[in-house]
Amino acid sequence: MVSIYWTLAGGSAVPADSAFLEHSLSVAEQIYLQSLRFPRRRADWLLGRWVAKHLLRTVDERLRGVEARRISVLRSAQGSPQVWVSPENPFPVSLSLSHREGWAACAVAPVPNWALGIDLEVIEPRPRSFVEDFFTLDEQAFLHRLSVAQAALAVTLMWSLKEAALKALRVGLTWDTRRVNVCLPSGLSPDPSWRAARITVRGVQASWQAWWCVVGQNVLTLAVCTETRPEALVYVPLRHVSTVHQSIGC
């Protein structure tokens, strides 16, 4: 059975010094960083590389002892993250990233070509027009029955699950988000344990496994499309890897 490993890092667990973070970049990553002009985008992108490499070097025994700057996490042609250790071929691992306001989440399966997506969103109210534009009629009917307080969590959560699914398919927001239908069978209490969600994607004949949890003011979601990997239909344990940056030699 393959495990999906995930982590969420931010605040004091992350080095504040961008020079420290930049020191762990490969040459290809340094070149890409130069193309990012906006400070916030640079900071998010840097944090994403740091968290991804931390997770990869912690959970994938093939990368233990490999210096962070020998690993590249670069965008593929579709925008999805791809890991390189030597220039010939992508490293056979599946990885997804999300970052928001100084926090970054990463999920890794130490096998190639798994369709997995992770997403982090701040819980906040969104206007009715947002729901009407981006949610299916079934989702809108579900949301209509909720109180205002529950709706902020539910809308954020369902939006995040849509993004996680579209990342897993490597299409991102180039697809209409109404192709993804999200159902929340296990209630809406905002606690930090993982709970299952149900996802279907119009036009994609595949089974999905999806989970969500609440972390502070954020939701964290994870979606795995099991179309080509039926063994992933078995329960996939999620493990949290603590982030202690002092222990990482770059």
Ligand X SMILES: CC(C)(COP(=O)(O)OP(=O)(O)OC[C@H]1O[C@@H](n2cnc3c(N)ncnc32)[C@H](O)[C@@H]1OP(=O)(O)O)[C@@H](O)C(=O)NCCC(=O)NCCS
Note the residues at the interface with ligand X (CB under 6 A).
Answer: 45, 48, 75, 78-81, 97-100, 119, 163, 166-167, 170-174
User: Among residues 10 and 81, whose Cβ is nearest to ligand X?
Assistant: 81
Separation of alpha carbons 250 and 248, rounded Å: 6
Pull the structure tokens for residue 174: 């180039």
CA torsion sign, 243 to 196 to 236 to 83?
Answer: negative
Q: How far is the CB of 72 from ligand X (least distance, A)?
A: 11
Are 110 and 2 contacting, i.e. CB atoms less than 8 angstroms apart?
yes
User: Among residues 81 and 110, whose Cβ is nearest to ligand X?
Assistant: 81
User: Among residues 40 and 75, whose Cβ is nearest to ligand X?
Assistant: 75
Q: Any residues with CB less than 8 A from the CB of 239 and at least 6 apart, and which?
A: 3, 5, 6, 59
H or E element in which residue 107 lies: strand 103-109
Tokens 């993982």 belong to residue: 194
Q: How far is the CB of 243 from ligand X (least distance, A)?
A: 17
Pull the structure tokens for residue 60: 């994938």
Which segments of 135-236 does DSSP mark as H helices, in order? 137-144, 148-168
User: Among residues 130 and 149, whose Cβ is nearest to ligand X?
Assistant: 130
User: Among residues 60 and 163, whose Cβ is nearest to ligand X?
Assistant: 163
Q: How far is the CB of 73 from ligand X (least distance, A)?
A: 7
Separation of alpha carbons 103 and 100, rounded Å: 5
Q: How far is the CB of 144 from ligand X (least distance, A)?
A: 25
User: Among residues 64 and 75, whose Cβ is nearest to ligand X?
Assistant: 75
Q: How far is the CB of 47 from ligand X (least distance, A)?
A: 8
Q: How far is the CB of 77 from ligand X (least distance, A)?
A: 9
